[in-house]
Structure 1
Amino acid sequence: MTGLLLRRLRDLLIILVIVGTMMFFVIRLIPGDPAQAILGPTARPSDVDALRESMGLNGPLWEQYLTWAGNVLHGDFGTSITYHAPVLGVVADHILPTLTLAVLSTVISFFLSVAITSWQAVSPRNPVARALDRLSALGMAMPDFWISLMLVLVFSVTLRWFPSSGYENLFTDPATAVPALVLPLTVLVIGQTALFVLTLRESLLGELPLAYLRTARVKGLSERQVMTKHVLPNALMPLITQLGSNFAMLVGGIVIIESIFVVPGLGHLLMGAVSTRDFPLIQGVTLFVAVLFVLVNLLVDLSYALLDPKVRVS
């Protein structure tokens, strides 16, 4: 276990160096001048040059990179051009909405997919189970933005059951937060549940023909007991892998959902940073997502050891 932690910490450092270096140079390919974007098109050239000098954008690119890397090693990720505040503070202010959506949607999707797939395996000829199988493929095919717009049209504009936008802290004002979270969570749950159902179904199909299940049935266990005690623990391994990678990508990739429903999370923050050429903020959000990706994968590896004794032995 200690060796695993050390390897993951090594991987974290390598990924941060690679992601940070690539992002530093790639974002500078974005057309436009950050200083000009801040001051506006009517600003005097002298004012633009002075602002660029204060932001450290006048020197050679390699010199800018070394300065930025040295500051990062000391825990200084720079100051956001848009918010005029430290990048770490700005990222911290926008973490909670994104993590709320990501964690809740992942947990709901996980339990839904386990319940649906287990039912399909126990009752394969049930017409409802077959319909859910087809709906899973449909859920994978429908784009998130289209589902979002349809939900807003039906449940916000027509029926007026839920607000079309907005966000409140779930822990401080749950009565207001829950209705605002229903639609964005529904969009995320539909896509994730469809993906998890397909992943778990393939894993179950690989487990069902194995000999140890015939032994369990000979002992007198019911199909439900065989499913819950033997099949699911082994079949969950690929699903947990999918869940971990999907969660990390979800945190950095729900830009469309946060934009449509006006959720002030990391995706919304990153989109605004790109439009204003806020280089320090783009780099800070990207590095945070990279750190989260490695940490989530570490938790996935540790969960393997809890589910599978063979992993603990190895």
Structure 2
Amino acid sequence: MPRPAPAWERPAGTVFRSFFQWTPASTITAGYTAALSSREVPNRRTQEKPVSHAEEIQRGDRFEFGANWARFLTVLDDERIAQARASLKAMLGVETLEGKSFLDVGSGSGLFSLAARSLGARVRSFDYDPNSVACTRELRRRYFKDDPDWTVEEGSVLDPAFLSTQGTHDIVYSWGVLHHTGQMNQALDNVAPLVAPGGQLFIAIYNDQGGTSRRWTAVKKLYCSGLPGRVVVRLVFYPYFAAGRLLADILKRRNPFTSYAAYKSARGMSVVHDWEDWLGGYPFEVAKPEEIFERFRRHGFTLEKMKTCAGGLGCNEFIFSRNPKH
């Protein structure tokens, strides 16, 4: 996979760590504590009536990931698609996915379902967010219209009945998704049976940074609390992120306008949509690499490859293989 973008080009990069190392969560959320206290993620294990996606959004329990992906599709181009395809090939260590089945758990924009299909895989995509499902279907319409080898559905990784219809696959892919479910550990356990014996699981999970992660959780809750919170977060952090990029461009003697226009993350994303996804990405859970390793070891998986964020903010990436006899 191409080298990750420098810290100043990532919303969770080291340029921004000092703010969270020294700023208490109470300061970040001043004026909104009472409003947020009633908006904790619901415990779906004990609720008698399931909460719909729309209700979660309305209550401030969930970020509108799908709406952000819909905006991203307006800037999606062939270069970004090629970048996504290259990152998938590099991490999996392959040139083609011909003959493979690929399950995209939480397909989001549909970009990586598209990348997998263009590499020859038979693809199944699903997402909990109806707008994300619509985005994935739109990419299928644009690039693989009426293709019988690419199925797109709406469903939840926390729904055993739905998962029972998905079968098993050579590659199960869930990049930056399971930590946004509100029940990360359950979601991690639920994807394990979806991997065929001898198949691979490719996931990315936010790194646990202790107090820093808790402060970011406060920011995300504030963002999702409603329009006032969203405005406050954007007013504080958009200039903060932009200043970090500007400083980096000056130090590297780059034209800031050219740098912004040319921005592509290591996975084909865009700078503002990366910022928005980071700031609003709630529910938000984190894990240490060893916790992920141990959980899947118990499920009969072997770690093949791991790519960490060097102990910082961001996602640790893992590729596991399932024991053929397990």
> TM-score normalised to the size of structure 2?
0.24
User: Greater RCO between the two (CA within 8 Å, min separation 6)?
Assistant: 1
- Structure that is richer in helix per residue: 1
Indicate the structure (1 or 2) with the bigger Cα radius of gyration. 1
> TM-score normalised to the size of structure 1?
0.24
